[in-house]
């Protein structure tokens, strides 16, 4: 043994205090953005079947939810609308009395310090469930941009603090930036879903937001999961067009992409820990196959270590609670 040369890595793991002394990555409740699904109508609180603990809420149930969120120290929410009426061109997305606009006004009036992030997309509002206008059986890019700009401006008018376009049309950041500026919203940042893959992990979300495409899929606008360089091209154009934050989505299977984006660009990077990732953890935890708290905290820590500055996650309330207890 005497002549062996090796490093004593275990020296820095010898006790809880020693480990905490050399810890490199921290989770903070301020890192979390919590998604909310707002329903039209009254007296509704529907648990999403595939997402235990996540509810579609009508406005009268929003106060209790917001009190809980704020009480836990969560500073930001991401709003999705589930309208009663859908049509070909997603009118409710950019209507002044659309459900997201109503919810935004309510939150900004009653919880002014909370950051409201508005998801800017049409798929929850269109009868066909696609993220833009349909022409000749596919989503038409440029005519969809006009409606997305209207949606973003109407969300900003309602008081949204951040516009988060998730539609994956080409040029959406340029169009929305120009539209916001023209309407006087120079200071409203764009959190772009810059890198969004056509993922099976969105399945449970589509139950929650009632946004499953009625024909075809999203593969002509969302990215092929096999591609890495394409992520850089997507992020690059969004940076050029004026994005203020870059989202990578989904989360767990795409941590390499998060690191690429972090290393290549100087903007805050946001990871979206999506519905399918949440459902898998919840299902395994319900069966007592995993330790939910440890699994969730390890996943979220891994996302930050990979380079995410912020995490959009359905686990936010639980994680905030666990961070408080620690």
Summarize as ranges the residues that interact with ligand PBG (CB under 6 A).
119, 121, 123, 131, 166, 202, 205-206, 211, 218, 274-275
- H/E stretch holding 141: helix 141-158
Strands 115-120 and 76-82: parallel
C-beta of 1 vs 200, nearer to ligand PBG:
200
C-beta of 63 vs 285, nearer to ligand PBG:
285
Closest separation between CB of residue 168 and ligand PBG, Å? Answer: 8
C-beta of 165 vs 179, nearer to ligand PBG:
165
Cα separation, 28 vs 310, in Å, equals 9
Beta strands in the chain (DSSP E): 32-39, 45-47, 55-58, 76-82, 115-120, 133-135, 138-140, 162-165, 191-196, 245-249, 269-273, 310-313
Closest separation between CB of residue 275 and ligand PBG, Å? Answer: 3
Closest separation between CB of residue 52 and ligand PBG, Å? Answer: 14
Are the beta carbons of 120 and 167 closer than 8 angstroms?
yes
Which residues participate in catalysis according to the annotation?
Answer: 196, 249
C-beta of 158 vs 312, nearer to ligand PBG:
312
- Long-range pairs for 63-69 at CB < 8 Å and ≥24 separation? 63/110, 65/36, 66/107, 66/110, 66/111, 66/114, 68/317, 69/34, 69/114, 69/316, 69/317
């Amino acid at each position: 043994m005497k002549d062996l040369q090796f490093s004593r890595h275990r020296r820095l793991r010898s006790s809880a205090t020693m480990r905490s002394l050399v810890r490199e990555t921290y989770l903070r409740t301020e890192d979390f953005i919590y998604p909310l699904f707002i329903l039209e109508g009254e007296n509704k609180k529907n648990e999403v079947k595939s997402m235990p603990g996540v509810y579609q809420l009508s406005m009268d149930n929003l106060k209790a939810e917001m009190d809980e969120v704020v009480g836990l120290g969560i500073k930001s929410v991401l709003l999705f609308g589930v309208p009663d009426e859908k049509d070909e061109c997603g009118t409710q997305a950019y209507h002044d009395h659309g459900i997201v606009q109503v919810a935004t006004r309510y939150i900004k009036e009653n919880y002014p310090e909370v950051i409201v992030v508005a998801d800017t997309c049409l798929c929850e509002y269109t009868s066909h469930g696609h993220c833009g206008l349909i022409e000749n059986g596919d989503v038409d890019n440029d005519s969809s941009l006009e409606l997305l700009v209207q949606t973003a401006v109407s969300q900003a008018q309602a008081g949204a603090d951040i516009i988060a376009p998730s539609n994956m049309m080409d040029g959406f950041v340029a169009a929305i930036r120009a539209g916001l500026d023209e309407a006087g919203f120079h200071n409203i940042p764009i959190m772009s879903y810059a890198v969004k893959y056509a993922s099976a992990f969105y399945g449970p979300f589509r139950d929650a937001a009632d946004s499953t495409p009625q024909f075809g899929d999203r593969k002509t606008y969302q990215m092929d999961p096999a591609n890495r360089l394409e992520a850089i091209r997507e992020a690059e154009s969004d940076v050029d067009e004026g994005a203020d934050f870059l989202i990578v989505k989904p989360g767990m299977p795409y941590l390499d992409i998060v690191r690429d984006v972090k290393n290549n660009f100087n903007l805050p990077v946001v990871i979206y820990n999506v519905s399918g990732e949440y459902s898998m953890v919840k299902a395994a935890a319900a069966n007592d196959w995993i330790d939910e708290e440890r699994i969730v905290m390890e996943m979220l820590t891994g996302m930050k270590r990979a380079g995410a500055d912020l995490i959009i996650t359905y686990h936010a309330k639980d994680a905030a609670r666990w961070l408080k207890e620690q």
